[in-house]
């Protein structure tokens, strides 16, 4: 049991990566659509590139969405509207009319009988098919069915129904026709009190009848029998051929796969996703070992890939036509900000390949996104400069638009049906890409990483910690500025991270604030406190500035990448002066008492700082410097560090060290205002 626990403890980092790998694979497969992919690619209006295709099984030809929409519209146009009618309303109105007529008109008026008949006839006309309760907006020829107590009364058209305000026109026309216009005012006012509607729409019956007819629409038209030739090689995919191919593709992705091979398809997806993620891990292990060994960084990379896939699948489920609104270029931007361009592009390409399984027009999508990712990596050189980000986002958006336009012309052969809305999606995608700045800040807090944006902030000499250093240890502060300039120039020469090494140089000696006068650069009075201490005590104070620096850095929440420079800027080198002084008194003096605890530099940047720090500090002891003296001086210091094995863990080459030496010699010559010595 104890052996098992020890084994787990020794390999816990590897076990974590395996667990992360499996869980990420599971989540990505879970997000993927649970169907197979049709193995043939085809475009409308283009030749069929594959071999002759025969029907693998019997299947129905599905109608296109346009055909179904057209049928639905025809049914909606022809479907009748159901109205409820109250037939007894007409008789109630006639009774009220007879009663009110007798009260309004006396027996002495001439043509009383004719006038009564005119009113009665007007009521009959008004209620011929019925009086509407409101003004409905239906075409005049719309079919109408009148029902009462769920029984059909009559069929007619909408123009036969009377609007309630039409009774005045009907009465006035009848009175004029019978030469009774003098009674118009009294007669019309009589009807205002008695006329009422008796027809109202039955929405429930109308909707149910319409839905029943819509449900009867067939989604297929004809069928294809097994072994029937569907399309020959080179034949143009259009018309009925295109509909048949789309039907076969749908049948493959729904019925065939889902019914019989669901688990097999799921397993195949898992294999492909696992293969892609495995390639990423192998890339990290071979080319980015420092990232591979850091589980937080590996988790960060996997998290970002998963996030992009999640956002894309959500958009596809909502509306696949808006898939280009996802700012996928944020992925290489973020990874480049925290790591490097090569890793950012590699992860971006793998993510795009995975998304090719689920997006429509997968080849077009992958081409656009990979090209956009390459442009992102090539154009965004310094993310901490806001202008650079805006310019790069504009270039990315332009590339999207140009590539999409080219694909559209290839597919359609013209630009008449070009949808400007898609260009709007690309612009929205570009604007969303600008969110990378606050996203980087969030990631720094969540994962404890540091980006160039944060490094730029830390490089400001007005920060609280650097101001404290300049006040307590002005000589050390000046030394740190000189080292920062040397290290930045050296990093630029060999293509290392210049911003990172500059920040590391500014903070590498902050531990000297604890006992500033014990370091020669801060001894302004000429009094050396080491004169009163033993060599071991002096050595301990000198060595402890590394440990003190780490404590101060952590207390002030400096990023780990910066603290690494404090840890490694002396490596495991020796405090040689005090060692030799002690050895003169005691031959059995141990070197371990006079060596820094390390570790040795393990990156190009930390190795650069060690070289620049040693050269700058020792250069103060040069008397009557000349070009030849500076050359020998730089060569001897760096050679001593190499002989001591200080750069064995750093991925720096001899060629790069030679380049750094050249920069240091030139810079020191400038510092001492020396002229170049030309050969005679």
Residue from 161, 190, 164, 196 nearest 175 by CA? 190
The CATH number of domain 452-671 is 1.10.3210: yes
The two most distant CA atoms of the chain are separated, in Å, by 154
> Residue 678 — pLDDT band, cuts 50, 70, 90?
very low
Give the whole-number percent of the chain exceeding pLDDT 70.
Answer: 92
- Sign of the CA dihedral running 309, 378, 493, 553: negative
111-129 pLDDT, tens digit per residue, is: 777 878 877 888 888 888 8
pLDDT at 496: 87
Q: Which of 338-342, 359-363, 568-572 has the lowest mean pLDDT?
A: 359-363
- In the chain, CATH 1.10.3210 sits at 452-671
pTM of the model: 0.62
DSSP labels for 370-433? HHHHHHHHHH-S-TTSHHHHHHHHHHHHHHHHHHHHHHHHHHHSSSTT--HHHHHHHHHHHHHH
Residue 559: closest CA among 466, 445, 673, 678: 445
Alpha-carbon distance 459 to 131, whole Å?
Answer: 85
Q: Look at residue 556 and tell me whether its pLDDT is greater than 70.
A: yes
Could you tell me which of 558, 533, 539 has the C-alpha nearest to residue 469?
Answer: 558
3-state secondary structure of 674: coil
Element (H, E) at 308: helix 295-319
**How far is residue 461's CA from residue 116's CA, in Å, rounded to a whole number?**
106
Q: Is the peptide bond before 599 cis (omega within 30 degrees of 0)?
A: yes
- Which tokens belong to 175? 């009175």
What residue has token string 């869980």?
Answer: 23
pLDDT of residue 384: 58
Which pLDDT score is estimated for 674?
53
Averaged pLDDT for residues 59-88: 85
Compute CA distances 297 → 300, 304, 408, 440, 443, whole Å. 5, 11, 40, 14, 11
Q: Which residues pair with 60 in a beta bridge?
A: 223
Rounded mean pLDDT of 46-74? 79
Cα 467 from Cα 474, distance rounded (Å): 9
% of the chain exceeding 90 in pLDDT: 26
d(CA 339, CA 346): 12
Distances (CA, A) of 492 to 73, 88, 300, 486: 69, 99, 28, 10
pLDDT band with cut points at 50, 70 and 90 for residue 193 = confident
pLDDT of residue 277: 95
Q: How far apart are CA 666 and CA 634, in angstroms?
A: 11
Per-residue model confidence (pLDDT) at position 268: 84
Average pLDDT across the chain, whole number: 84
- pLDDT per position as a tens digit, 88-112: 888 888 888 788 777 777 766 777 7
Model pLDDT for residues 618-650, shown as the tens digit of each residue = 888 777 777 888 889 899 999 999 999 999 988
- Mean pLDDT score, 364-369: 89
Q: Which of 228-232, 414-418, 580-584 has the lowest mean pLDDT?
A: 414-418
pLDDT at 338 over 90: no
Q: What is the CB-side half-sphere exposure of residue 455 using CA atoms within 13 A?
A: 23
Q: Is the pLDDT of residue 221 over 60?
A: yes
- The backbone region for 179, taken as left when phi is positive above 0, alpha when psi lies in -120 to 50, beta otherwise, is left
pLDDT tens column, 431-479: 888 888 888 888 888 887 888 778 888 888 888 999 999 999 999 999 9
Residue 308: other Cβ atoms inside 10 A:
23
**Residue 255: DSSP 8-state:** I
pLDDT at 273 over 90: yes
Contacts of 416 (CB under 8 A, 6+ apart): none
Question: In 35-60, which positions are buried (b, 16+ CB within 10 angstroms) versus exposed (e)?
Answer: bbbbeeebbeeeebeeeebebeeebe
Which pLDDT band holds residue 397 (cuts at 50, 70, 90)?
A: confident
State whether residue 565 is helix, strand or coil.
Answer: helix
pLDDT confidence of residue 19? 94
Output the CA–CA distances (angstroms, integers) from residue 233 to 51, 88, 228, in the order listed. Answer: 5, 73, 15
Question: How far apart are alpha carbons 40 and 487 in whole angstroms?
Answer: 57
- Selection from 124-128, 238-242, 301-305 with the highest mean pLDDT: 301-305
Distance between CA atoms of 428 and 422, rounded to whole angstroms? 10
Which residues share a beta bridge with 406? none
Whether the CB-CB separation of 504 and 458 falls below 8 Å is answered with no
**Identity of the highest mean pLDDT range in 244-253, 287-296, 356-365, 473-482:** 473-482
**For residue 2, is pLDDT > 70?**
no
Q: Which residue has the tokens 């030139």?
A: 666
């Amino acid at each position: 049991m104890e052996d098992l626990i020890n084994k787990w403890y020794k390999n816990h980092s590897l076990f974590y990566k395996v667990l992360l790998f499996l869980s990420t694979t599971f989540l990505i497969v879970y997000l993927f659509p649970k169907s197979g992919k049709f193995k043939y690619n085809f475009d409308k209006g283009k030749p069929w590139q594959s071999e002759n295709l025969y029907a693998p099984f019997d299947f129905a030809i599905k109608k296109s969405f346009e055909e179904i929409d057209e049928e639905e519209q025809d049914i909606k146009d022809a479907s009748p509207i159901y109205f409820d009618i109250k037939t007894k309303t007409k008789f109630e109105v006639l009774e009220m009319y007879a009663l009110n007529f007798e009260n309004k008109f006396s027996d002495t008026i001439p043509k009383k009988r004719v006038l009564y008949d005119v009113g009665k006839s007007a009521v009959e006309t008004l209620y011929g098919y019925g009086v509407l309760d409101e003004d409905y907006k239906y075409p005049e020829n719309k079919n109408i069915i009148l029902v009462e107590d769920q029984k059909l009364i009559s069929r007619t058209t909408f123009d036969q129904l009377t609007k309630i305000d039409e009774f005045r026109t009907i009465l006035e026309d009848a009175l004029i026709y019978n030469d009774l216009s003098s009674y118009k005012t009294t007669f019309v006012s009589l009807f205002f009190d008695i006329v009422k509607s008796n027809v109202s729409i039955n929405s429930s019956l109308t909707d149910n009848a319409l839905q029943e007819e819509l449900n009867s629409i067939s989604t297929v038209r004809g069928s294809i029998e097994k072994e029937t030739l569907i399309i020959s090689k080179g034949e143009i995919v259009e018309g009925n051929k295109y509909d048949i191919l789309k039907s076969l593709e749908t049948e493959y992705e729904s019925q065939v796969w889902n019914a019989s091979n669901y688990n097999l398809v799921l397993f195949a997806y898992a294999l492909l996703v696992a293969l892609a993620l495995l390639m990423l891990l192998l890339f990290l292990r071979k080319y980015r070992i420092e990232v591979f060994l850091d589980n937080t960084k590996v988790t960060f990379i996997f998290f970002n890939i998963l996030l992009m896939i999640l956002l894309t699948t959500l958009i596809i489920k909502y509306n696949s036509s808006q898939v280009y609104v996802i700012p996928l270029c944020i992925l290489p931007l973020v990874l480049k900000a925290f790591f490097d361009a090569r890793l950012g592009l590699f992860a971006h390409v793998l993510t795009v390949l995975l998304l090719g399984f689920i997006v429509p027009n997968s080849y077009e999508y992958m081409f656009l996104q990979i090209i956009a990712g390459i442009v992102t990596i090539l154009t965004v050189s310094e993310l901490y400069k806001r202008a650079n980000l805006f310019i790069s986002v504009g270039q990315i958006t332009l590339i999207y638009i140009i590539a999409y336009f080219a694909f559209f012309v290839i597919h359609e052969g013209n630009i008449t049906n070009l949808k400007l809305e898609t260009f709007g999606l690309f612009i929205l995608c570009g604007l969303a890409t600008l969110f990378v700045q606050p996203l980087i800040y969030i990631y720094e807090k969540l994962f404890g990483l540091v980006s160039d944006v944060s490094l730029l902030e830390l490089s400001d000499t007005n920060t609280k910690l650097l101001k404290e250093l300049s006040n307590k240890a002005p000589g050390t502060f000046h030394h740190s500025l000189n080292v920062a300039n040397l290290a930045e120039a050296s990093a630029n020469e060999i293509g290392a991270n210049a911003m990172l090494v500059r920040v590391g140089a500014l903070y590498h000696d902050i531990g000297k604030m604890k006992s500033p006068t014990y370091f020669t650069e801060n001894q302004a009075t000429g009094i050396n406190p080491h004169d009163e201490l033993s060599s071991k005590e002096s050595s301990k104070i000198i060595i402890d500035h590394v440990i003190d620096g780490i404590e101060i850095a952590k207390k002030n929440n400096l990023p780990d990448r910066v603290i690494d420079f404090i840890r490694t800027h002396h490596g495991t080198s020796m405090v040689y002066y005090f060692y030799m002084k002690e050895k003169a008194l005691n031959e059995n003096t141990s070197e371990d008492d006079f060596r820094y605890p390390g570790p040795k530099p393990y990156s190009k940047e930390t190795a650069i700082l060690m070289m620049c720090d040693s050269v700058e500090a020792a250069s103060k002891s040069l008397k009557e410097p000349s070009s030849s003296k500076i050359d020998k001086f730089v060569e001897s210091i760096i050679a001593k560090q190499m002989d001591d094995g200080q750069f064995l863990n750093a991925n720096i080459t001899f060629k790069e060290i030679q380049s750094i030496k050249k920069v240091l010699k030139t810079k020191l010559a400038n510092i001492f205002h020396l002229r170049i010595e030309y050969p005679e």
